[in-house]
Amino acid sequence: MSFALLFSGQGHQHPAMLPWLADDAVMQAMRAHLGVEDWRLALADAAWAQRNDNAQILLTGLSLAAWGQIAPLVAQPAAIAGYSVGELAAFSAAGVMDTTTALALAPQRAAAMDECARGAPGGLLAVSGLPVDKLQALLEQTGLAIAIRNGIDSVVVGGPVAALAPAQTLAALAGAHCTPLRVSVASHTPWMQGAADRFSSTLASVSLRPPAATLYSNAADRIRDAASAAHALAAQIATTVRWDECLENIMARQVGCVLEIGPGQALARMWNQRYPGIPARACDDFRSAAAIAAWLNSHDDR
């Protein structure tokens, strides 16, 4: 069997997600980091859910727990990638760090970004349907930067809060579909360079290992050693997430299926639109870890 893992980023979390998750040690540690007893109840509060620190800790913890409960039932994945903050769980799943380290890094990553954002408040805007020339014109007019590249005509732009509303208006007038994202920082743009530098310093004191599985980064293609892992984890905070390239790299591995680990189905949907011949599903589609494992195990190499 050959399959790939995609670890979700923030923005699609909801109180009913991953209903099959058992309350294991990882979940308990996550709740301790969050300072809450009932994360589903906390997540129902929109203000709490939108906070960058809560979201990053929550997404990392849930993804680590989900994969930890699925992994004993399946073989090693053929390829792994994480979307934005999903890289923490992805790198852990690939063996670069243990779950305790990954979960401990989540609040430190969020704190570095929040501190940076206090000096330069920002946000993100998803933009689809703009040809390259019109997108470039939009960036020049507004001063925003590409934060995430999902495809040729599907990107997320980011930058100062004051520039986002004018950008949405201009993009809509040019025929684009726009969606403001539920984040409060200009992730993956130059405005986060201070956060990237601070997180790089944090990672310098962390013991990382070479990945035990094929691992692709948002910022540095395939990760082959501990040094490149540390560099990539910090660099992606302030540089464009090249998700389209991550998907191309995984497709080249000729996997039989793809599983998204995290809330919602955004990454699975993106994969299915791009590569309809290789099925992708999300953990949120299932009611048990055993059902997820059965689906993965039913897809042999193609």
Question: Do 17 and 113 belong together in one domain?
Answer: yes
Q: Which domain CATH number covers 257?
A: 3.40.366.10
Residue 176 falls inside a structural domain: yes
What does the pLDDT average to over 194-213?
A: 97
Whether 301 shows a pLDDT value over 80: the answer reads: no
Question: Do 132 and 104 belong together in one domain?
Answer: no
Question: Do 74 and 202 belong together in one domain?
Answer: yes
Question: Do 244 and 127 belong together in one domain?
Answer: no
Question: Do 157 and 18 belong together in one domain?
Answer: no
pLDDT of residue 131: 93
pLDDT of residue 1: 53
Question: Do 15 and 49 belong together in one domain?
Answer: yes
Domain hosting residue 157, numbered range: 122-180
Tell me the pLDDT of the chain averaged across its residues.
95
pLDDT of residue 300: 57
What does the pLDDT average to over 221-237?
A: 97
Question: Do 70 and 43 belong together in one domain?
Answer: yes
Question: Do 82 and 197 belong together in one domain?
Answer: yes
Within 10 Å of residue 94's Cβ, how many Cβ atoms?
A: 26
Residue 172 falls inside a structural domain: yes
DSSP strands (E only) in the chain:
3-7, 79-82, 122-128, 145-151, 154-160, 177-180, 215-217, 221-223, 257-261, 280-282
Question: Do 210 and 172 belong together in one domain?
Answer: no
pLDDT of residue 120: 86
Q: Which domain CATH number covers 135?
A: 3.30.70.250
Q: How many structural domains comprise the chain? A: 2
